[in-house]
C-alpha cells in the first residue's frame, strides 16, 4: 500500500529540508515528510489540512493529499538529504503511525537515516516498524485540544512510551491550568522529567514569546524542559518549513 502524504501545493508532496523546530532535536537539519490523516481533531491544530475534510472550515481532499509509492518517497528524501548532507528524517503528520505498514517499507529503504516519528501517542507501532525508529516525539493531547480523554490519552500507550527511552514527551500548553494536567499525567505514567517538554501553543512569534515567559518559570520550578517552535519564528505558519 503506498503512502498518503500532505501537499505543499496541489500535486507537490510535503517533503522538505529544514531545521527541526521543536523538542529535543530543535535546531538540527532534517528532512521532513508530512503524512496525511489523523485519528484526533485538535481545536488548535496547525496542520488541519492533513485531516479536516468534512464539516465547517473543511479542506478539499484532492489538492491537499497525494499518494506516492514508498520507493518514490525514499528517492525524494535521499535527494534532499544528499543535497544538504542531512542524515536525519522526521516523519510527521497528521498521525504517521496510522500508515505503519507503508511507513515500515519506506524506512527499510533508508537504513542510513536517523528516524524521528512525531506521534500523538495513541497508536502502537508494530514491532517491525518500531525496530526502524530511533526517536519518538510523543505529543499527547490535553483537554484544551477538544479531544475526549478516552480517545486522546490511552493508558497502555502512555505507559509504553514512558517506559521507552527513545520517547520524548512534548505537551502543547496554552494556559497555566494545562500544567496541572501535564504533571498529573507525568506522575500517573512515571514519565521521566528529563524527557518531558512543555511547548507553548501558538502560530505566531508574539503568542509563543508571551506563553514561553511563564512556561519558563514553570519548567525551572518543576524540573521540566521548555520547547520553543523555532520554525514559526523563522518562517511563520507556512507549509514546507
Asked if the structure places residue 237 within a domain, the reply is: no
Distance between CA 167 and CA 161 in Å, rounded?
A: 6
Asked if the structure places residue 219 within a domain, the reply is: no
Continuous segment of H or E residues that includes residue 8: strand 3-9
Helix axes 205-222, 176-189, angle to 10 degrees: 50
Over residues 6-19, the mean pLDDT reads: 98
Percentage of residues in the chain having pLDDT higher than 90: 99
How many independent structural domains does the chain possess? 1
Q: In the prediction, which pLDDT does 54 show?
A: 95
* Tens-place pLDDT, residues 88-132: 999 999 999 999 999 999 999 999 999 999 999 999 999 999 999
* Tens-place pLDDT, residues 155-164: 999 999 999 9
| Residue 1 neighbours by CB distance under 10 Å | 10
Asked if the structure places residue 93 within a domain, the reply is: yes
Which one has a higher pLDDT value, 56 or 204? 204
Cβ atoms of 130 and 163 within 8 Å: the answer is no
Taking 80 as the threshold, does the pLDDT of residue 1 lie above it? no
DSSP string, 128-165: HHHTT-SEEEE----GGGT--HHHH--HHHHHHHHT-T
Order of all β-strands in the sheet with 15-19 = 15-19, 29-34, 88-92, 114-119, 135-138, 167-173, 196-200, 225-226
Give per-residue burial for 206-236: e unless 16+ CB within 10 Å, then b: eebeebbeebeebbeeeebbbbbbbbbeeee
Give the domain extent around 133. Answer: 3-169
Q: What is the pTM for the complete model shown? A: 0.97
Over residues 166-182, the mean pLDDT reads: 97
Taking 80 as the threshold, does the pLDDT of residue 226 lie above it? yes
Asked if the structure places residue 177 within a domain, the reply is: no
Q: In the prediction, which pLDDT does 63 show?
A: 98
Distance between CA 171 and CA 56 in Å, rounded?
A: 27
Distance between CA 93 and CA 81 in Å, rounded?
A: 20
What radius of gyration, in Å, describes the C-alpha atoms of the chain?
17
Asked if the structure places residue 42 within a domain, the reply is: yes
Asked if the structure places residue 231 within a domain, the reply is: no
Asked if the structure places residue 70 within a domain, the reply is: yes
Q: What is the CATH number of the domain that holds 33?
A: 3.20.20
Helix and strand numbers, DSSP H then E, in the chain? 9, 11
Asked if the structure places residue 60 within a domain, the reply is: yes
Amino acid at each position: 500500500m503506498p503512502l498518503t502524504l500532505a501537499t505543499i501545493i496541489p500535486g507537490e508532496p510535503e517533503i522538505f529540508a529544514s531545521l527541526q523546530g521543536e523538542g529535543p532535536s530543535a535546531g538540527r537539519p532534517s528532512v521532513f515528510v508530512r503524512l496525511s490523516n489523523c485519528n484526533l481533531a485538535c481545536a488548535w491544530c496547525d496542520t488541519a489540512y492533513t485531516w479536516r475534510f468534512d464539516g465547517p472550515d473543511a479542506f478539499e481532499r484532492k489538492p491537499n493529499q497525494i499518494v506516492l509509492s514508498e520507493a518514490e518517497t525514499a528517492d525524494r528524501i535521499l535527494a534532499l538529504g544528499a543535497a544538504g548532507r542531512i542524515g536525519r528524517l522526521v516523519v510527521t503528520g497528521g498521525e504517521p503511525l496510522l500508515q505503519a505498514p507503508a511507513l515500515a517499507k519506506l524506512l527499510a529503504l533508508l537504513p542510513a537515516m536517523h528516524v524521528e516519528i512525531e506521534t500523538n501517542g495513541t497508536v502502537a507501532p508494530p514491532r517491525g516498524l518500531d525496530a526502524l525508529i530511533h526517536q519518538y516525539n510523543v505529543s499527547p493531547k490535553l483537554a484544551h485540544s477538544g479531544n475526549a480523554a478516552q480517545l486522546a490519552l490511552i493508558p497502555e500507550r502512555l505507559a509504553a512510551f514512558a517506559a521507552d527511552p527513545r520517547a520524548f514527551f512534548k505537551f502543547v500548553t496554552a494556559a497555566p491550568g494545562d500544567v496541572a494536567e501535564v504533571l498529573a499525567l507525568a506522575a500517573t505514567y512515571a514519565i521521566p522529567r528529563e524527557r518531558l517538554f512543555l511547548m507553548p501553543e501558538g502560530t505566531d512569534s508574539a503568542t509563543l514569546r508571551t506563553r514561553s515567559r511563564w512556561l519558563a518559570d514553570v519548567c525551572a520550578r518543576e524540573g521540566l524542559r521548555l520547547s520553543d517552535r523555532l520554525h514559526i519564528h523563522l518562517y511563520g505558519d507556512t507549509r514546507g518549513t
